[in-house]
Amino acid sequence: MLTSPKPLTETDLEHLRHCLQLAEEALQAGDEPFGSVLVSGNNKVLATARNRVNELNNLAHPELELVRWAADNLSADERKRATLYTSGEHCPMCAAAHGWIGVGPIVYLSSARQLQQWLQEAGAPAAPIRFLPVQELIVDVEVRGPAEGELLEQIKQLQLRYHARHDG
């Protein structure tokens, strides 16, 4: 059962703005606008990543890159205390990796459901998978999001700009 998410804090919003900047970098590089930031339990940015699907392959999601980084560089306890901030809610592939590696909370700017609605608005091709809330895929993980207001509108506009260029 999905529970009510905790409200986003000022710290959350600061890291989500960073994710938005990384998503903009991805868009400028010709890729889908997604960006993520891995933050330690004491609020230190450990690693950042942006989408590189067009550069590498369909598995080059920033969340997956950061989960791999965490697996290689952090102890199990450090992973559990780390928070993964991301511009969009994890897809099932990234959520499964997150759960298997045992990274802590997920904070996202836009939900998978919102993304699906935006892609439909843009006339983008349907995804080859079902997007599910991460809570349906990962056991015992704290999830916060989506954001509201200007930040949410900014990521929506990045998504619409990408799909206007690539799917039209």
Condensed to tens digits (0 to 9), the pLDDT of residues 5-33 reads 678 999 999 999 999 999 999 999 999 99
**Which residue spans within the chain are E strands per DSSP?**
35-39, 45-50, 83-88, 106-110, 143-144
Q: Does residue 138 have a pLDDT over 70?
A: yes
Residue the block writes with tokens 């699907």:
53
pLDDT for 70-124, tens place per residue? 999 999 999 999 999 999 999 999 999 999 999 999 999 999 999 999 999 888 8
pLDDT band at 3 (very low <50, low <70, confident <90, very high): very low
Beta partners for 55? none
Residue the block writes with tokens 């999830």:
143
d(CA 62, CA 36): 6
Strand 35-39 and strand 45-50: pairing?
antiparallel
> Which has the higher per-residue pLDDT, 87 or 2?
87
> Which has the higher per-residue pLDDT, 167 or 95?
95
d(CA 28, CA 132): 28
pLDDT of residue 125: 87
Name the percent of the chain lying above pLDDT 70. 96
Is 57 in contact with 75 (CB distance < 8 Å)?
no
How many residues are there in the chain? 168
pLDDT of residue 127: 84
**Both tokens of residue 156?**
């929506």
Rounded (10°) angle between helices 112-122 and 149-166: 40
Amino acid at the residue 9: T
Query: Radius of gyration (Cα) for the chain, nearest Å?
Result: 15
Q: For the residues 59-79, what does the mean pLDDT come to?
A: 97
Task: List the Cα angle 97/102/103 in 5-degree steps.
Answer: 85
pLDDT band at 1 (very low <50, low <70, confident <90, very high): very low
